[in-house]
Amino acid sequence: MKRRPHILPIIIISQFACTSLWFAGNAIVDELAIKTGLGAEIVGHVLSSVNFGFIIGTLVFALLMIADRYSPSRVFMVCALLASVCNLLLLANNVTTSLLVVGRFGTGFFLAGIYPVGMKIAADYYKSGLGKALGFLVGALVFGTAFPYLMGGTTWGNDYTLIIKATSGLALFGGLLLWILVPNGPFRKPATQLQLKAGPALFKIVGFRKAALGYFGHMWELYAFWAFTPLAVQTFNILNEASLSVPLWTGITIALGGLSCVLGGLLSERLGSYKVATSALLVSGLFCLLSPLLFQLPPYVFLVGWCLWGMAVTADSPQFSNLVASAVPPELKGTGLTLVNCIGFAISIVSIQLVSFSAEKINPSCIFLILTLGPALGVANLLKKNN
């Protein structure tokens, strides 16, 4: 069956539009701090609430095999609508801490029907070249993540409500666009019945287990790095009496990760997903280890180093997803991807909270050393012989 050329661009646009919701709360964290009365701990609360919602959502979606039993395009559209509504809760006149957590949790819960389901849709269309396709797709997610920060770095950021309205509107548009223009893929093999033990049983597959453990090491680092990049830029400004724009350089750092996902996808065609994922994880781990030194460098050298780290930290993500999808039976691709996402984001909450706690106890320029643990264990697992 000939693949229609518009399919991948539509999935990419929709993924970008919907995942712009992910860091919408973090991009307006100063305004939310004023509204709720929370202090520095609000960064951990805002992102951890989204990630916790995503964990619960992916757990529910994986156990019930939602993306394998129902039309993934319809699931994507419904979740985009509901995530948009949850995001709009941040515009309430009196945002309490409870409402903040509920809104961010709900957004994360329904993102479980967007990010992994988008990858499942791509897998249904690409029997070969999936690593390249997922490189573009996860790149779109990263660009979507960066969008609220980039918007905050412009004059539009002067009105934080515009960031929330724009991201909710984008997500609704993306969900409808994919539902209307992307039917079920030619390689989709729907599951005919619920199998509650199907997900955990996947870990008996060596290829799946190896890719999943590498991904878990990647996730220990990724979201904590993104969440505390604003603090890193602020710390550099204080230590070096610099005046780097925090939202702008946070957005640029994250957005460059989207570019590296695309480049990694292209490289995977020649080198294979395993080599690309392992190399990227190794490089980002070295940046974790050397991170305190970056704060001692001149401003533009610091920025170059931080941006290169931002590229390395994301380049492996789509390739791990390809390795996961390629290791499982076709009728369980959605379940496998969703389950791995669920566990990975649970791990990210631990690292985020640990870095957040450490930021109050030690020099902020040293907190990123904690992230070395994930890449170190991930690379060790990937280089270990199959057993």
On the CB side of 33, how many CA atoms lie within 13 Å of its CA?
Answer: 11
Instruction: Looking at mean pLDDT, say which of 263-272, 331-340, 378-387 comes out highest.
Output: 263-272
Specify if 229 maps to a domain: yes
CATH of the domain at 26: 1.20.1250.20
- Burial label for 384, CB within 10 Å (0-12, 13-18, 19+), is exposed
270-300 tens-digit pLDDT: 999 999 999 999 999 999 999 999 999 999 9
Domain count, the chain: 1
DSSP string, 88-112: HGGG-SS--HHHHHHHHHHHHHHHT
> Which of 337, 172, 153 has its CA nearest to residue 229?
153
The predicted structure's pLDDT at residue 236? 94
Residue 252 or 119, more confident = 252
Specify if 189 maps to a domain: no
Specify if 193 maps to a domain: no
Rounded distance between C-alpha atoms, residue 355 and residue 370, angstroms: 7
Mean pLDDT of 14-31: 84
Rounded distance between C-alpha atoms, residue 365 and residue 227, angstroms: 14
Residue 345 to residues 130, 272, 341, Cα–Cα distance (Å)? 23, 25, 6
Specify if 39 maps to a domain: yes
Rounded distance between C-alpha atoms, residue 199 and residue 328, angstroms: 10
Residue 5 to residues 74, 136, 333, Cα–Cα distance (Å)? 21, 14, 23
The predicted structure's pLDDT at residue 128? 67
The predicted structure's pLDDT at residue 1? 44
Neighbours of 73 (CB within 10 A): 23
State which residues form the domain around 281: 7-183+198-383
Q: What percent of the chain has pLDDT over 70?
A: 90
DSSP H or E segment with residue 78: helix 72-88
Residue 353 has pLDDT above 50, yes or no: yes
Specify if 317 maps to a domain: yes
Ranges 80-84, 117-121, 231-235, 287-291: which has the least confidence: 117-121
Mean pLDDT of 173-194: 78
- Burial label for 243, CB within 10 Å (0-12, 13-18, 19+), is exposed
Residue 260 or 62, more confident = 260
- Which residue bears the tokens 């270990």? 384
Q: What is the pTM of this model?
A: 0.78
